[in-house]
Amino acid sequence: MSGPGPTGDGLEAGADGAVDDGHYHLRLYVAGQTAKSLAAMANLRRFCEEHLAGHYDIEVIDLMKNPQLAAGDQILAIPTLVRRLPAPLKRIIGDLSNTEKVLVGLDIRPKVDEL
């Protein structure tokens, strides 16, 4: 996991001892350029700009090209968004069209509170 950054709140310092600084490391698994994949990608970028501007990075993995990566993150459904950081690991499946569920799934706190 990430380095020696001492900050971060206790809640987010997950059970695996990972320390995070509020940085979101997201990985989106897609399989080819399907409508669902494209929709998910568009939705994801929109969220991140809205809620996580500046402290996120997105990695898009096309399993059609790299099928060997599917097992590592236990991917079954496509598309799947995996929140690698902050811990704990979260999986959000679907085309991310349900904004509220995505926000809950990603633990983007202000929105959770508002809900």
- Given 7, 15, 16, 68, the residue binding other proteins (CB under 8 A): 68
If binding is defined by CB under 8 A, does position 94 make contact with other proteins? yes
Chain-centroid distance of CA 109 in Å reads 14
Region for 46 from its dihedrals, namely left if φ exceeds 0, alpha if ψ lies in -120 to 50, beta otherwise: alpha
- Given 52, 105, 108, 109, the residue binding other proteins (CB under 8 A): 105
Q: How far apart are CA 96 and CA 47, in angstroms?
A: 9
If binding is defined by CB under 8 A, does position 24 make contact with other proteins? no
- Rg (C-alpha) for the chain, rounded Å, is 14
Binding site for other proteins (CB under 8 A): 29, 31, 36, 39-40, 63-64, 67-68, 70-71, 74-80, 88-98, 101-102, 104-105
